[in-house]
Amino acid sequence: MKKIRLEDVHRYSAVGDVNFLPNGKEFLFVHKTIDRENNKYLSNIWSGDLSTCKVTQLTRGDKDGSPVVDPEGKSLLFTSRREKDAKGTKGTKGTELYLLKLGGGESRLVKTLKGGFSSISWVDEENILFTTKAAPGENPEKPVEEEPVEKRTYVIDKIPFVSNGSGFTENRISQLYMLNVATGKMKPLEAVKGDVQSVEISPDRKRAAIIVKEDAERRPRWNNLYILDLKGGSPERIGDDSISVYACVWASCDELFVLGTDLAKGFPTNPYFNFVDLESKEMKPLRRDLDLYFGNSLNSDVRGLSGKSLRVKNGKLYSIITSGPDSTIISMDKTGEVEDVMLSDGSIDCFDINDSGDLVYTKMTPVQPLELFCSKATGTKKITNFNSWMKGYQLSAPESFKVQASDGVVIDGWIMKPVDFDEKGRYPAVVEIHGGPKTAYGNGYMHEFQALAASGYAVVYCNPRGSSGYGTDFADIRGHYGERDFDDIMEVLEFVVNEYDFIDEERLGVTGGSYGGFMTNWIVGHTDVFKAAVSQRSISSWISFFGTTDIGYYFAPDQIGDDFFQNLEGYLRQSPLTYAPNVETPILFIHSLEDYRCWVPEAMQFFTVLRYLGKEARMVLFPGENHELSRGGMPVHREKRLKAIVEWFDTHLKK
């Protein structure tokens, strides 16, 4: 049988943005592929029929997404980047909004905006609400002509001044507008102040629930909820400063489910749902005792598409949750009663539900990338088979295990045997560490893991303290980075080495990205058990991270404790750079030059210090890439990244 190759990363298809049409019988979704030859991604909108489970390609613009159907099910709005500028470069004018009549015909360009289109919601058959990025006082309809680099300057007077994936923000925030799709005329809803995070229209189309970040400098973690009467008037705030609102959905024309948190334990705090009756305007907490992670936080490097994880049908809330290694769907009524809707031994990324309770959803497993499924009273069926090329390939299926840590807490772990495994053989092993830290490994598909297994490595991974899916207390490692989380990883490794005699403990490698990069940096400064390490998009100094990244000024104080000038000892103690003289493990740093989540100086300074000290280190930098390199970087760069990782491990673990 064939083995997965590093370069197969370009062959995966993804599906997402699943939405039923109003009739509840047909649905739309987005299909994404990779054009390796031209080093780009292609996405188009498809339609499907629930009764036949047949799907058909609907658009062919190759950059189409974000489908939104009008309440009558007659017209489809979607975003694209089809147009070319005067130089013939596709998509540089901005993001386009197209209208397509579902009864037939060609799509029509409605509007092009440099700031894009988000939170698109139909108000009536001609008007929509949406948000677009613009600076206060800036006309978003005016074409923005970028100056040549040699003439360009950035004037900065606020934080955050950069955003991963967007670059320098130049004070641009998401602002709310009304657009007539027939005339293309738009007007601002100036009563809504601040950076709009999301917009939800009431079922009767008379009001909008708007989540706004009002002070990104002083209260960056807090979002407020407002209700706006679309006939006019000032927005009315719901709730107070005791809760930061993450999301909301309408339960009826006068009721809302609101997801929020008091951040009692900082970022690790799991949010909870509240029920709001707009007559009383009281925000009533529902089942705070559940301590669930609402949404999907399972890792995968073959996604690339989004979709809704919250829905309401017949007054009942439906939500994806992350529970240990799985993401499943639950329901909750207005009293807080919870029921399991879809138990899954995989990763459900997005879904929709019709009046009959039928589901369409996307799902992956450790041996199957994302595909589209439906669940009806008659059973569950796989609808798409876009990744059929994998038939005949030999994959490594993870074996799960549990380790009781030295403090008594049980840790989930997995091991993947090398492809062509021989019971008599001895194999090198690579420990993988996820980012976050509040994300999780589980039943999601990881091409990187399969590629390592196909290259002759055992792959070991776990969910140490700090991970999501196990409750707030489990996720809370604030002020203790590199302590209990480090112990969990090392105790899992000890278990694996003792339990699986095919692991060669003299040939161990370690790698991870973001928080996983931090932990890789930390590990090599605290143990020499690993013979090779690959640190990706990492943190090496909490002090530099605080002042150079898009989230550092509020994430570091939350995770480390206080500001660095008030807690210098803590920042230094929990910075891997402090322990650089202890490093004996050859280490490769992989970083993107436009990674503003963990900026490139994090890799540069650790690399420089190690070379200064005469240690073995290498650095591979990727221009034009950001924090999402491994998941959404340019296809050629994604291949080169994987090649760099495997070559480094081959050099040091296969001698």
Catalytic residues: 514, 627
Can you tell me whether residue 577 is helix, strand or coil?
Answer: helix
Helices 447-454/635-653 angle, 10° precision: 40
Angle at 534 between CA 533 and CA 538, to 5 degrees: 120
Q: Report the candidate in 297, 303, 295 with the shortest Cα–Cα distance to residue 329.
A: 295
- Angstrom distance (rounded) from CA 365 to CA 382: 13
How many CB atoms neighbour CB 382 within 10 A?
12
- Nearest C-alpha neighbor of 321 from the set 291, 286, 287, 357: 291
In this structure, are strands 173-180 and 127-134 parallel, antiparallel, or unpaired? antiparallel
Laid out side by side, the sheet with 26-35 consists of: 14-20, 26-35, 40-49, 54-57
Amino acid at 559: Q
Residue that has been written with the tokens 């600076």 in this structure: 135
Can you name the residues that pair with 511 across neighbouring β-strands? 432, 534
Query: Distances in Å between the alpha carbon of 112 and those of 97, 169, 181, 189?
Result: 6, 20, 12, 19
d(CA 450, CA 540): 28
- Number of H-type helices and E-type strands within the chain: 10, 41
With 0-12 CB in 10 A as exposed, 13-18 as middle and 19+ as buried, what is 242?
exposed
Q: Which of 62, 67, 61 is nearest to 48 (CA)?
A: 67
Segment holding 630, helix H or strand E: helix 629-632
CB 428 within 8 A of CB 456: yes
User: Within a 10 A sphere around the Cβ of 147, how many other Cβ atoms?
Assistant: 8
Catalogue the E-assigned strands of 160-206: 162-163, 167-168, 173-180, 186-188, 195-201
Find, among 305, 313, 316, 302, the residue nearest to 358 by Cα. Answer: 313
Longest CA–CA separation in the chain, Å = 75
CA-wise closest residue to 336 among 286, 293, 289: 286
Alpha helical stretches, state H, 477-586: 484-499, 515-524, 542-548, 552-556, 568-573
| 3-state helix vs strand vs coil in the chain, percent to 5 | 20, 40, 45
The secondary structure element, H or E, covering residue 529 is none
User: Which letter does DSSP use for residue 330 in this model?
Assistant: E
